[in-house]
Structure 1
């Protein structure tokens, strides 16, 4: 099921942050000159923090807009499943079918190229796909430079377009980290960065009960729910099943916004 009136915030000014950097450093110089290092050093540290901290905040719009919640969807949520395709893909698709649910799978480009039949199966069953980088460099995605970042996003977009027959319109940053060089590629491809407002840390925690408690704390109409497949703990399918059951108990349906 699709949802109407969904905002699609494609970055409009991907380099706006440069002006803020210049302005902040000029302000630091002015403070240092007029008031001395006692004011200059704290101002310098604060100015750097203002540009570094947003990288690690998935919902931050400092380096470009992010879709955090759907509007006007009633008692519904958007299920998003990261890191596939994997051996978990088909069992998760079966669970979604059983519950009459729809989801968007944020796929890693290289993994999609290796298992194109799983991408086709996701689409055949009525679900959506999104770009989740080409190689999923989770340890250093946050610090990729402009060329490396462009390669990650561009290569995944090309791979997914070839496998799926159409380029995706959604993007999710690896581990939710978004540095200054993400927005330019998103604008070039017309991609919308999708964050979340309900997560259970299921990529690292295989206990369905703990994961459910964390997700429920963020559940509300229009919530974007973050889930994963193929996690090393091997419990991703059980976690997705538990989430679907809890959503049904609480009267939530799942929707996929139109691309």
Structure 2
């Protein structure tokens, strides 16, 4: 059996013990307080709103590193991309695995803990076929993940980690935030679990758009060496398998291959 190669240290960046956002937040509020004191509420209130909007933008923007490091692109110069598939396992998983095999492609499946616990055989099949497995929260609280408090955020991350470790015998090393959002409480559980956060730089909203041709056309425009491609499975429109199959065909025609960060 060949030795398992670890991801490049520069790619797998676990949050530090003391996130810089704390000091930025304190400094920003001190500046607002001084402005309010010296210039009055007409200056202080707009500054306070601006500070809070800036920190909200850091939470809602998937590639923002305000609350810890995030990987959104691979340092690759040839035509290789990282395919990432969120929200499984699902009824789509077996067909997706067959598609990937047919195209000699590899992907990382960012799995939801509750869904993995319900379908452990699919999780093991993903690992057996040589694909990566990442943590995508335990219950996938899509509407409120960005606003979770420290206790719920920790449960979402650690419970999923425990489920995936129990099924595969190996803890994931990559985390994909729900809808790509983060907040000040995401860093501590990621650090404790040894997880690095992953965003993307190629997406086409395939979880909500049901037109495979339009989805793949947009993804094709965003393909580039080292791109991290965001894909989904199990969407309500039922066409994710068709979309990914068409994408793999277009990638092959354009000379693109897949790569996992562990293989760099």
Report the CA distance between 1:213 and its aligned residue: 2.4
| Cα separation, 2, equivalents of 1:182 and 1:39 | 32
1:143 and 2:171 aligned: no
Aligned to 1:72: 76
Where 2:87 maps in the other structure, the secondary structure is strand
| Cα separation, 1, equivalents of 2:17 and 2:166 | 29
Where 1:198 maps in the other structure, the secondary structure is coil
Aligned to 2:243: 239
Report the CA distance between 1:36 and its aligned residue: 1.9
Q: Which of 150, 157, 175 is 1:171 aligned to?
A: 175
Aligned to 2:220: 216
Count of matched residue positions in the alignment of Structure 1 and Structure 2: 259
Q: Which of 247, 254, 259 is 1:255 aligned to?
A: 259
- Alpha carbons of structure 1 residues 247 and 114: separation in structure 2 relative to 1, 3 Å: same
TM-score (norm 1): 0.96
Report the CA distance between 1:14 and its aligned residue: 5.0
Q: Is the Cα contact below 8 Å between 1:15 and 1:184 reproduced in 2?
A: no
Report the CA distance between 1:38 and its aligned residue: 2.1
| Cα separation, 2, equivalents of 1:33 and 1:90 | 63
* Correspondences of 1:119-158 after superposition (within 5 Å): 119-158=123-162
Q: Is the Cα contact below 8 Å between 1:134 and 1:152 reproduced in 2?
A: yes
Q: Which of 199, 211, 222 is 1:207 aligned to?
A: 211
Report the CA distance between 1:100 and its aligned residue: 0.4
Unaligned runs of 5+ in 2: none
Q: Is the Cα contact below 8 Å between 1:10 and 1:186 reproduced in 2?
A: yes
Aligned to 1:104: 108
Report the CA distance between 1:13 and its aligned residue: 3.8
Q: Is the Cα contact below 8 Å between 1:14 and 1:63 reproduced in 2?
A: no
Q: Deviations over 1:11-54 (max 9, x none)?
A: 11454322222111110011111222221111111111111111
Report the CA distance between 1:7 and its aligned residue: 1.5
Task: Say what the alpha-carbon RMSD is for the aligned residues.
Answer: 1.7
Q: Which of 40, 58, 65 is 1:36 aligned to?
A: 40
Where 1:199 maps in the other structure, the secondary structure is coil
| Cα separation, 2, equivalents of 1:246 and 1:72 | 20
Unaligned runs of 5+ in 1: none
Report the CA distance between 1:73 and its aligned residue: 5.2
Q: Is the Cα contact below 8 Å between 2:123 and 2:167 reproduced in 1?
A: yes
